[in-house]
Structure 1
């Protein structure tokens, strides 16, 4: 290419997936530098009539796809992430880790790093793999190979190392929990089944809502934020259109989130982790006012009478009245009754965007179940009465059939994918239990693999670590998903685990020096997806499903390699390179991905590479497919649910059979303020010391821990608050009433604290958060003051509960827990911890890599 000429490549910019892509975009490159990232125009290679664009006609209006991708600001700003001052430039070794001598695990997160070569790094990793596995057995290596990271196919992350570990005899895998669906996975599945994750059937629901719904109940949902990392801005378009055609939007959440601020006709503020009380009071109103669908209850449900006895107080002597609920959840009783009556009188659909904070809290199985119970009481599956997911699966039924087993109508590139894909080796540890597994000296047990997608019945199987048949304790960690500390619950406990002497070696591969990377012994520099050639699909955007070739935009920065190439370097040292690569080049893998994608019968590989993408046309007659649960509503015997009775189970027969003594998840869903596992309630004496409930959402200006160093975002007031010391703090939303009582003003530096530690933040005084509640997004990059105790950046996952969802539910708890709030004197902290406050910062991007490299 001649100098000065602009070259354009297609990329799928997604940040939390397993080789499935999203947000297809075009990247303009000039003289080896990224100029801009912009939407992909679908009609560049295809005529609209070839794509057969779908249309939804309702109430005199039309909703249809645009002829370009609806990429979010995250995608347009991603070049700032590529050129971040936090990029890892070359392989690094912790200065006081000596594989032949003292390993000093207690200094992980404190010691700095020195530069080494790729050859030395690969040799050290290979040597340690052989030593650890020969000493303790194959399962002694933990592969953290899941979760948050760039979406790639050939190049990972999410488990390129597992293929090599299989060749070495095995490994232990960190089993990803259903973090965005916890309440539905552990709760709703026992009411209506709905594998894989417990959320409702989505077939034709956009059309059903447009035709029939009168109210949309956005419960704990923020469609203007949560969708940005997966499906772009289609959910935003949809919300505007629903308003345009006259559908009322009600938001039930503690905060006026970004969706509520734009779209809400009514905001009902509810205290975090009290939704179950509000739901029970709605059920009480319907039962006592005789406004529920008795015919549906009689023919489509099981155990309603037992549920009604609990709601009316016949079981425990405590009627779940609106007055009772108002004291708990902060919603006035008149508002509860008004909501219940309007819901009963008008066709209402509940809306979500993956999980809001209310399904990621203590005992979230209960509001997850109660939501389904309420839908059932109004005739689930009637026109306009379903559960709508604003992203991903809303349009899956519209497109031409793809002859592929999972699922039939979606293209995928599993044939090229090198990551871990939910296959369970001999030994595994649920992600939420990794710290406990390391820190405890005795075996641990739990129920269910915890992996999103496993069937309901799996939750009744008990598993053990170390496994009885050939298992062993882990002594090495190999991670390509280094954000456990800042994205899962009890991050300070994970820091303690990473510093345990049991863990003799930690190797992490990642593009940026952040979060768990700081606790590694060896760090491998990984390039971003804009520096690699790959193949991807877009099946999340709600526009058109399509598959595309991803050209390499720029040369890899510094000494970085892809996750796949990094593992190849280790494979060479082990003499397993040919076996690991199967003798295939990157181009070979791209072709393999295409040939098994499900579209090879539609277009030749040569034509695909010439055009760079293939658009899957809309199927004929898609409008005739029954919406959501309407097949079950119309013929429950012909279309039974995935429950033991085939019906909606108000009384869960599986829980009765397998967990008869579990007081935290009983056969009937209940209000559980606190119990054996958690005391995160204003009704518990702990609240005297920690009087605020925190709501911690999916972040507005990040995707979990990704993008926290994008300078353009950090200029936005609700992204960061600039402290008097010049540091950009994670905002803490505080209601003016609480701020006045605490003596806190806008821009003050505050700390959120409990017995698990504290994190700092910048005060943002606003009426967009209800009194008695504070709000701080999760996922900020950690910037430790004292590792395992305190953090400057506002990474509040560090102080989340360490216990799982409940006794028999190994899910995460990352919102709705108790904290104290206090103003801090930053100068006093600086004087107390001078080293922690002496790190190097970019004035806009925050902590930079040089802070951790000797001679950097």
Structure 2
């Protein structure tokens, strides 16, 4: 029996050496997740890549050949593939320089710290001279940019959040904008050993804590919380929060002492609340017209928040939308007006219910990882602007107070990730992927990204290689010996880059003369020398064991407690050292879509428009049956499909109005595209809303890339930024219509390899 770490949990595995024969949850996990069932069933699926492949047009005509994504592939030997790739890398770096190479990777590919695809590809490209990189993420692009101006770096909000144990003991009221999703809280970068999401809420509720979930989906908060469900129109949370703030201000409930000592800019914001700047008082009656929530409930909730130890928490989903800065900023402002930031159980949270790591006590000792080296290229893009970059080389754009220029990318090297899952407006992304001269993908599976590549190299799954791993903010550090032999001819990313490095004359720089096991031992021994008095076994004992429990802080953490105790000795890292309700820095950028304090800005697409183009607001949230698009072919992910398609949920009233029944095959469409889905009728969805999770592998119709046969909502979502400030993605919300699908359903192609020649 071997223990193995994944981003969504830890399992104990039995293997016959070739494949997994049994998978069960690790005995230490109090809330195990069924996602582990995807691993064994996906390992030898027909969608695994068995050997290297080269797109026929690229092989016949060289770099820049058209029809990427439409042509068959030619299976080749590893020797041929690596020779071709080494030659192409040599050509691009020689003729166009390192700024012509984009090193794409998203970091979720491996739970292991050595075979971390992002670290491997970036280390390799750095040895070659560097690459154009991305900053931020699709999940937190808006937060990463905004929060340092307002309260703290986003990692402080994630890694130093008030402990769940403190919330369970001290909090009296949790107001969760975007809910506390149990499915999102099941996953964490690097892995999860123990899940505690339901446990702390159950304990808090039993003690008398009340939960209010503000979301279009009732099940965005687990049943254990017994939460009150408030469902405003999607996209109107900022108006709801402004009205809460207006009541606190008008009724004398704001903590003026806290605001005076710990914040800046409240007077400017209060003038806006009171209507002194635009003639509109942001009271509950005003907000009710926008949100659909009764004014009496808004006013009552504000008073409840002011008379209890209240945690205001904002999910990541709210900032993944047009003007996503506004509700996020307002969450901080509400917590500041209540005066509870820095108190046990009160204040502001960001990501409880969005990832497992938030509220977990951070270990005092970090785990070893492979160094990526120095990138000699300073050029970068916000990650959600990849299509803009490829389509508009040389074009200027604004971001975070800077004027930047898109580079001219000739080669894309992607390892670890699937942009055809994360990105929006996939027909536009598909067009963008035709622009580079060469696209290279390392992947275990024939994902849409691999199908849109020129050179495709099969890599191992985590169960097929030796590694060690520990999740962000997780207390366990596990050895991860290979459980089986690799599928087909799959190789580790490290082995691939080592061979390429030898061909390109940088072998010693990349490998430093070490094999995988020598690297694991070297990294472990280096780490062991930094752990001080904490006893650490030698590598052989660690490798043969069941994992190490890392030491934690002496007492549970409370976010911003030091700042509250002495803001002069422990200032924030904001420009003023205080919470910035008004930011003169942001105001100085003069961005119309993100002014100097939070405001109500009407979304481009929402149900509150006088004449909305389409009648349903689609919520494209994260799936419960997989992590992002990972292992969509696995048994658990496939078990929730309807007619082989991703399920879309609708309220019974909306389904009845369209003559739709549970289990129907439906067509979801708007001006950007369309997809097929299987209908699930569910009262947990607000009327006027449809919910379709991301992650179904993009399966475009051969004649129309804007039509996905499988149910990927990103053929419908807009490739537009949250704001000029953050350039974050807006994949959470879009307007659609849904109708019965007439005719014979088209066959899916994602579950089998592409055509070969």
TM-score range, shorter chain: over 0.9
Report 1:769-784 matches (<5 A). Answer: 769-784=685-700
Corresponding residue to 1:613 among 509, 533, 547: 547
Per-residue Cα deviation, 1:246-297 (whole angstroms, up to 9, x for no partner): 2112111011125344533311112221110000011111122222212212
State the alpha-carbon separation in 2 of the partners of residues 561 and 413 from structure 1. 23
1:681 is aligned, of 606, 617, 623, to 606
Equivalent residue of 2:705, what SS? coil
Please name the residue that 1:700 is paired with. 624
Give the corresponding residue for 1:451. none
Give the Å deviation of 1:203. Answer: 5.3
Q: Return closer, same or farther for 1:198/1:219 CA change in 2, 3 Å cut-off.
A: farther
- 1:183 touches 1:366 (CA, 8 Å); kept in 2? no
With over 3 angstroms needed to count, the CA separation of the structure-2 counterparts of 1:318 and 1:746, relative to structure 1, is same
CA contact (8 A) 2:216 2:689 kept: yes
2:318 maps to 1:363: no
Corresponding position of 1:643: 574
Q: Structure 2 residue aligned with 1:252, among 187, 191, 214? A: 214
Following TM superposition, by how much is the alpha carbon of 1:31 offset from its aligned partner in structure 2, in angstroms? 5.0
What's the offset of the Cα at 1:99?
Answer: 5.4
The residue that corresponds to 2:657 in the other structure is 741
For 1:63-82, what aligned pairs fall within 5 Å after superposition?
A: 67-68=28-29, 71-82=32-43
1:848 to 742, 746, 751: 751
Answering whether residue 308 of structure 2 is matched by residue 350 of structure 1, we say no
Deviation for aligned residue 1:612: 5.0
Which residue does 1:757 correspond to in 2?
A: 673
Q: Which residue of 2 aligns with 1:63?
A: none
Alpha-carbon separation, structure 2, partners of 1:673 and 1:143: 36
Contact 1:202/1:394, CA 8 A, preserved across alignment = yes
Q: Deviation digits for residues 192-230 of structure 1, max 9, x if unmatched?
A: 1x1144737735533432332111222213341012222
Contact 1:413/1:537, CA 8 A, preserved across alignment: no
1:137 and 1:181 map into 2 onto residues whose CA distance is 31
* 8 A contact 1:188–1:198 mirrored in 2: no
2: CA distance, partners of 1:273 / 1:526 = 40
What is the match of residue 406 of structure 1? none
Q: Which residue does 1:384 correspond to in 2?
A: 345
C-alpha contact (below 8 Å) 1:12/1:25 kept by paired residues:
yes
Structure 1 residue 167: Cα displacement: 2.9
In the alignment, which residue of structure 1 is the partner of 2:361?
396
In the TM superposition, what is the alpha-carbon distance from 1:482 to its structure 2 partner? 4.2
Residue 434, structure 1, aligned to residue 386, structure 2: yes
Q: Which residue of 1 aligns with 2:172?
A: 214
- The answer (yes or no) to whether the contact 1:475–1:504 under 8 Å persists in 2 is yes
Separation in structure 2 between the aligned mates of residue 167 and residue 375 of structure 1, nearest angstrom: 46
Q: 1:805 to 1:245 in 2, by over 3 A?
A: same
- Shift of the 82–802 alpha-carbon distance from structure 1 to 2, 3 Å rule, reads same
Q: Indicate yes or no: 2:437 matched with 1:496.
A: no
1:729 to 1:395, Cα distance in 2 relative to 1, 3 A: closer
- Cα-to-partner distance string for 1:335-390 (whole Å, 9 max, x where unaligned): 212211211111111345xx442121111001010000000010122343123454
Measured after TM superposition, the shift of residue 600 of structure 1 is 7.7
1:560 aligns with 2:521: no
CA distance in 2, matches of 1:508, 1:774: 34
Aligned counterparts of 2:406 and 2:661: Cα–Cα separation in 1: 49
C-alpha contact (below 8 Å) 1:357/1:814 kept by paired residues:
no
Cα-to-partner distance string for 1:825-855 (whole Å, 9 max, x where unaligned): 143xx6xxxxxx3555xxxxxx3233x1337
* 1-structure distance, mates of 2:15, 2:462: 14
Aligned partners of 1:838 and 1:735: how far apart in 2?
28
Change (3 A) 1:559 1:383: closer
1:234 to 191, 196, 204: 196
Report what 1:825 is aligned to.
742
Partner of 1:443: 395
- 793-802 or 266-275, which moves further after superposition? 793-802
Distance in 2 between residues matched to 1:170 and 1:188, nearest whole Å: 29
Structure 2 residue corresponding to 1:104, chosen from 65, 68, 74: 65
Whether 1:185 and 2:140 are equivalent positions in the alignment is no
> What is the root-mean-square deviation in Å for CA atoms of aligned residues?
2.5
Aligned pairs (5 A) from 1:355-754? 355-379=315-339, 380-388=341-349, 389-390=351-352, 391-397=356-362, 399=363, 409-414=364-369, 417=370, 425-447=377-399, 459-466=400-407, 473-500=408-435, 503-541=436-474, 545-597=475-527, 598-599=530-531, 602-603=535-536, 604-611=538-545, 613-619=547-553, 621-622=554-555, 627-657=558-588, 659=589, 661-674=590-603, 679-684=604-609, 688-715=612-639, 719-722=640-643, 728-754=644-670
Change in Cα spacing, 1:410 to 1:37, as seen in structure 2 (3 Å) is farther
- Render the CA deviation track for 1:306-337: whole Å, top value 9, x for unaligned: 11111111110111121211121221212212
TM-aligned CA distance change 1:823 to 1:39, over 3 Å = closer
Q: Hey, what's the Cα distance between the residues in 2 that align with 1:808 and 1:663?
A: 10
Q: State the alpha-carbon separation in 2 of the partners of residues 608 and 435 from structure 1.
A: 44
- Structure 1 residues 263-272 or 773-782, which shifts more? 263-272
Q: Deviations over 1:657-702 (max 9, x none)?
A: 3x1x21211111001004xxxx2233446x5322322212121111
Shift in Å at residue 77 of structure 1? 3.7
- Pair 562,102 (structure 1): closer, same or farther in 2 beyond 3 Å: closer
Match of 2:226 among 253, 261, 264: 264
Where does 1:60-139 land on structure 2 (aligned, <5 Å)?
67-68=28-29, 71-98=32-59, 100-101=61-62, 103-105=64-66, 107-139=67-99
CA distance in 2: counterparts of 1:441 and 1:586, whole angstroms: 39
Please name the residue that 1:35 is paired with: 21
Structure 1 CA distance for aligned equivalents of residues 327 and 108 of structure 2: 26
Is the alpha carbon distance of 1:609 and 1:730 closer, same or farther for their aligned partners in structure 2, counting shifts above 3 Å?
A: closer
Aligned to 1:169: 129
2-side partners of 1:24 and 1:294: how far apart?
A: 47
The DSSP-based 3-state class of the residue aligned with 1:548 is strand
Question: SS of the residue aligned with 1:622?
Answer: coil
- The 1:696/1:346 distance shift into structure 2, 3 A limit, reads same
Shift in Å at residue 395 of structure 1? 3.6
Report the CA distance shift for 1:475/1:238 in structure 2 as closer, same or farther (over 3 A): same
CA–CA separation in structure 1 for the residues paired with 2:75 and 2:653: 52
- SS class of match (2:58): coil
CA positional deviation for 1:423: 5.8
Instruction: Identify the residue that residue 310 of structure 1 maps to in structure 2.
Output: 272
**1:729: how far off?**
1.5
State whether residues 126 and 374 of structure 2, in contact with CA within 8 Å, keep that contact through their aligned partners in structure 1. no
Q: Distance in 2 between matches of 1:285 and 1:617?
A: 45
Query: Judging changes above 3 Å, is the alpha-carbon distance between structure 1 residues 512 and 421 closer, same or farther for their aligned structure 2 residues?
Result: farther
Separation of aligned partners in 2, 1:128 and 1:766: 52
Q: 1:171 deviation in Å? A: 2.2
Q: What is the distance in 1 between the residues matched to 2:32 and 2:55?
A: 39
Q: Confirm whether residue 9 of structure 1 aligns to residue 2 of structure 2.
A: yes
CA offset at residue 24 of structure 1? 3.8
Structure 2, unaligned runs of 5 or more? none
Contact kept in structure 2, 1:191 and 1:648, CA below 8 Å: yes
| 1:173-197 Cα distance to aligned partner (Å, 9 max, x none) | 2x142332344333333221x1144
Shift in CA distance, 145/486, structure 1 to aligned 2, threshold 3 Å: closer
